[in-house]
Amino acid sequence: MTDKTMRTMQTEVDDHISQFKTGYFSPLAMMARITEETGELAREINHYHGEKQKKTTETEVTVQEELGDLLFTVICMANALEIDLQDAHDHVMHKFKNRDKDRWERKDEAK
């Protein structure tokens, strides 16, 4: 397994999608796909960490696989909208580090 930057992953997904005439779906269609993939992830989380057991007829799917499907679809949305996810990540981390810096008790704080 190699370490990849978010930009590398976006390029890899774009290279894959660009080989097809259809290209990226519309943002609305991709939002529906993100919702669908999120539901599939929720189902697997419920099977592995919740009360709902898998039926014996259901195929084995992992949480990792569903997270991968969701990540792929999010990258497709970002690429179609020309959003650099590495920049988006940096922005949100800055926001959380500042806005929420005192929101939770830190591990290193005395009790």
> Which pLDDT tens digit goes with each residue over 18-39?
999 999 999 999 999 999 999 9
The DSSP annotation for 46-70 comes to: HHHHSS-PPPTTSPP--HHHHHHHH
Domains of the chain: 6-99 (1.10.287.1080)
At 111 the pLDDT is 58
pLDDT at residue 100 is higher than 90? no
For the stretch 48-95, pLDDT in tens is 888 877 777 777 788 999 999 999 999 999 999 999 999 999 999 999
Residue 94's Cα: distance from chain center in Å? Answer: 19
Model pTM?
0.85
At 86 the pLDDT is 96
